[in-house]
Amino acid sequence: MTVLQRAEALALKTVLALPQPIQRLAAGRALVREGQTLATEHQLTMRLMRMSGEPSLESLPIPEARRLLRRQTRLAGGDQPIGAVRDLPVGDRNGRLYVPTGATSPGPLMVFFHGGGFIYGDLDTHDPACRFFAEHSGVRVLSVDYRLAPEHPFPAAHDDCVASYRWVVEHAESLGADSARLAVGGDSAGGALAATTALAAAREDLPLAFQLLIYPMTDLRGGSDSRQAFNRRLIITQEFMDLSDECYLATAADITDPRASPLLNDVPDGLAPAYVVTAGFDPLRDEGEAYARMLADAGVPIELRRFPEHIHGFIHVVGVGRSGRASMVEIADRLRAALV
């Protein structure tokens, strides 16, 4: 980090460490919708962003927005401890392996696909979250850097993620992984890619023990109530989702391709158990929960956990504040229970 970035991170950490009553005064009147109250930390952070003139990602040229996202996640994620970390090739893609302190070999491993609307995100934007997951769950995490749109539209990201998982199965021993305790995981667009990778693994009879789907994008057709209710001023806007579709989908028909919209899949036999996380104030909430219901109706072991106080992107907020970190501990504990 630069000196300025360190100062920004310290300021944000200081503000979000203030007592709750003071944060509430600074954030303004509580935002309540559908019986849910937005976490004061989120409301205060968004107010500070607006006051500082922080631009939205979709308002910037894509290269500039990608740099902004990396800066934002460094500020919110902090410097998370980890036993060991190293970059390595995952087939023809770049990857980063996080090994928790005290990990034994062979041990469980989660292949993680980052979010970012298929156009943003990389190994660095999700570095704090992956460090946190690995260290707090005791599970190795292998983050994969798939190709992004608009340079590489659908189905490039899907193909990269499935190919990466096949590579992991073939090279589990070199990663210190137990092939009987492999998982896939991801957030947002990465949640969609984790879901379709899990579906492909079941169809190809590849070993997969668990899938962790964090506020996944599952239906690119849109139209859900939550997409209408929470598409303004809550991180993910309608303009962001429209840009994602415009950049990612090569043709109009792609929007209903099951590889792009997991909710439109038939559920194959042998699909891995899933833990689906949604956020109460997230446009993608309803489609994530619809996907969980579809899996449950098909007999897949499924646990759905809605965090009603959160917005989209809360997994990045592990270096500041309290509520996001506490929720991440809960998710990491669930990952540990499934694999360790």
Confidence (pLDDT) at 60: 96
* 283-292 confidence digits (pLDDT tens): 999 999 999 9
Least confident of 3-17, 87-101, 237-251: 3-17
pLDDT of residue 103: 96
Burial class for 222, CB neighbours closer than 10 Å (0-12, 13-18, 19+): middle
Q: For residue 166, which phi and psi values (nearest 5 degrees)?
A: -60, -40
Q: Is 259 helix (H, G, I), strand (E, B) or coil?
A: coil
pLDDT digits (tens, 9 = 90+) for 8-27: 777 788 888 889 889 999 98
Smallest Cα–Cα separation from 95: which of 165, 199, 196, 176? Answer: 165
Given 282, 286, 316, 323, which residue is catalytic? Answer: 282
**Which sign does the torsion angle of CA 14, 16, 19, 23 carry?**
positive
Angle at 179 between CA 313 and CA 155, to 5 degrees: 50
Encoding tokens for residue 95?
Answer: 């990857």
Active-site annotation holder among 143, 164, 179, 188: 188
pLDDT in tens, 163-209: 999 999 999 999 999 999 999 999 999 999 999 999 999 999 999 99
Q: What is the pLDDT of residue 3?
A: 62
188 is annotated as an active-site residue? yes
The pLDDT of 312-327, averaged and rounded, is 94
Active site residue 79: no
List 114, 136, 310, 312, catalytic entry = 312
State the pTM of this model.
Answer: 0.96
Residue ranges and CATH numbers for the domains of the chain are 80-339 (3.40.50.1820)
Q: What mean pLDDT do residues 140-167 have?
A: 98
CA nearest neighbour of 196 among 168, 180, 219: 219
Q: What is the mean pLDDT of the chain?
A: 95
Mean pLDDT score, 92-100? 98
Give residue-wise pLDDT tens across range 250-284. Answer: 999 999 999 999 999 999 999 999 999 999 999 99
Note if 282 is an active site residue. yes
Q: Quote the DSSP letter at residue 179.
A: E
DSSP string, 190-246: HHHHHHHHHHHHHHTT----EEEEES----TT---HHHHHS-SSSSS-HHHHHHHHH
